[in-house]
Amino acid sequence: MASAEPRRGRAWEWLDSRLGLAGFERLARKKEVPVHRHTIWYYLGGMTLFLFIVQVGTGILLLFYYRASASEAYESIRFIMTEVKFGWLIRSIHHWAANLMILTLFLHMFSVLILRAYRPPRELTWLTGAGLLVVTLAFGFTGYLLPWNQLAYFATRVGTQIVGVVPVVGEGMLRLLRGGDDVSGATLTRFYAFHAAVLPTLIVGILAVHVYLVQKHGMSTPPSVEKRGGGRGALPFMPHFLLRDLVGWLAALAIVAALAAYFPAELGEKADPFASAPAGIRPEWYFMFMFQTLKYLPPHILGMEGEVVGIMAFGLGALVLIFVPFIDRRRDGKPSHPFFGFLNYVWFGMIAFILIMTYLGYAEPVPDTSAQPGVEAVAEPAGGEEAVP
């Protein structure tokens, strides 16, 4: 094997004998990307990775000015947006790349799910991918609070209370997340620690395993393509597919830059723990379907509180998705129970549910409460308060 390799420079040989570069090179060159009508879906994982790298870069830049305290967070973001040169750009790119990353991640997950790329021996690739999805959603949830504005404040109250209604462990988890009984400055510092230290550590670890497994097992060819006798050959990953990936990344960067320039991230009003939740309050779009479902649930279902039933149902759905490689018993070329053929309809039903609920969430009219004179008084709550022990 080694004799067939071309001679490299002396620097390569010096490094190779110390780092074992040839081993890495073999691993990188081993992978091939099958070419067939579903090849387009192979780009989404790499694109998510690229957007993650953008997040690391812009996130580090934001750390230079951001201050994680209830009295300064909002002001420090305003400073970034208005005073710091290109501050608006850095924050807007962080905002839009986060949204796009979650979008490509969901598309990646559903394409892998429907093309059944989680089949053996790729179960652990799927599980680490599910871990990456959970960590990324946690990134989104914790990052949303950091500007300390009204929307984020109430989104965090609701989001943490959702954890709180989980039976048995909920109460303790709620206090652990909030850093107390209420959403306060203590919650902000906690979310900051999660967002800027705990989650990055976790994601890098899981990501390393995920990418290693993708490299080790190569790309999965969908069963539908295999049934027709395979696709149109294969493309070496290095450098052919990687170069095509780069074109996609460049396109993603252009989209993020355009969105950041035309629709800069908003800041809204500073959080006030003693003000009513504003009309038209809503979470980020990727939590919208759950939010909207919670609106429709009745107060009580089968003797349990409606939101508990809803949250448990979402939890069950997530568990089914996470463990799908162990639920789906279809094996290539072997007959299986018709139930498993039904699974694809379940996934399409899930996608349809998410799309419909998200649409309904955005289509709902916002009641106009701003015109009412009495609501003004709500904005100044602390004025006349005097506690009697």
Residue 243 or residue 388: which is nearer to another protein going by CB? Answer: 388
Q: How far is the CB of 107 from another protein (least distance, A)?
A: 28
Position 154 contacts another protein (CB under 8 A): yes
Residue 76 beta carbon to another protein: minimum distance, rounded to whole angstroms: 24
**Is 306 a binder of another protein (CB under 8 A)?**
yes
Q: How many residues bind another protein (CB under 8 A)?
A: 53
- The distance of closest approach from Cβ of residue 204 to another protein in the complex, given in angstroms and rounded to an integer, is 20
Residue partners of 290: CB distance under 8 A and separation at least 6: 310, 314, 357
Stretch that binds another protein, among 5-13, 102-110, 245-253, 269-277 (CB under 8 A): 269-277
Q: Decide: is 192 part of the binding site for another protein (CB under 8 A).
A: no
Candidate ranges 39-47, 90-98, 233-241, 295-303; the one touching another protein (CB under 8 A): 295-303
Given 13, 83, 182, 266, the residue binding another protein (CB under 8 A): 182
Contact code string over 162-181 relative to another protein, x by CB under 8 A: x-xx------x--xx-xxxx
**Least Å from the CB of residue 117 to another protein:** 37
CB of 266 to another protein, least distance (A): 18
234 has which bridge partners?
Answer: 34
Q: Closer to another protein at the Cβ: 120 or 303? A: 303
DSSP letter, residue 33: E
Does the footprint of another protein cover residue 387 (CB under 8 A)?
yes
Give the distance, in angstroms, between the CA of residue 94 and the centroid of all CA atoms in the same chain: 13
Nearer to another protein by C-beta: 78 or 157? 157
Nearer to another protein, 99 or 184 (CB): 184
Q: Does 335 bind another protein (CB under 8 A)?
A: no
Alpha carbon separation from 164 to 80, 104, 171, 281, 320 (Å, rounded):
34, 30, 5, 21, 22
Question: In whole angstroms, what is the distance from residue 328 CA to residue 119 CA?
Answer: 8
Cα separation, 40 vs 219, whole angstroms: 12
Decide: is 148 part of the binding site for another protein (CB under 8 A).
no
d(C-alpha 146, C-alpha 71), whole Å: 12
CB 17, CB 204: distance < 8 Å: no
Applying CB under 8 A, does 280 fall inside the site for another protein?
A: yes
Q: Which is nearer to another protein, 22 or 375 (CB)?
A: 375
249: how many CB neighbours lie within 10 A of its CB?
18
Note whether 317 binds another protein by CB under 8 A.
no
Binding to another protein by CB under 8 A, coded x per residue (else -) over 6-35, reads ------------------------------
Contact 241, 34 (CB under 8 A): no
DSSP string, 42-75: GHHHHHHHHHHHHHHHHHHHHHTT---STTTHHH
Which H, E and C letters describe 291-342, residue by residue?
HHHHHHCCCEECCEEHHHHHHHHHHHHHHHHHCHHHHCCCCCCCCCCHHHHH
CB of residue 360 vs another protein: minimum separation in angstroms? 12
Q: Minimal distance in Å, beta carbon 54 to another protein?
A: 30
> Rounded to an integer, what distance in angstroms lies between the CA atom of residue 216 and that of residue 167?
40
For the bound state, the minimum distance from the C-beta of residue 377 to another protein, rounded and expressed in Å, comes to: 4
Q: Identify whether 121 is preceded by a cis peptide bond (ω within 30 of 0).
A: yes
Closest CA to 86 of 256, 331, 261, 306: 261
Q: Which residue in 84, 138, 158, 267 binds another protein (CB under 8 A)?
A: 158
Complex with another protein: residue 6 or 367, whichever CB lies closer:
367
Task: Name the DSSP letter for residue 240.
Answer: I
Cβ–Cβ contacts within 10 Å for residue 316, how many? 10
Distance (Å, whole) CA 25 – CA 224: 32
Residue partners of 101: CB distance under 8 A and separation at least 6: 48, 51, 52, 55, 136
Would you say 228 and 26 are in contact if contact means Cβ atoms under 8 Å apart?
Answer: no
Least gap, CB of 79 to another protein (angstroms) = 28
CB of 30 to another protein, least distance (A): 38
Which residues of this protein are in contact with another protein, per CB under 8 A? Answer: 154, 157-158, 161-162, 164-165, 172, 175-176, 178-182, 186, 273-281, 291, 294-300, 305-307, 367, 369, 372-375, 377-378, 381-389
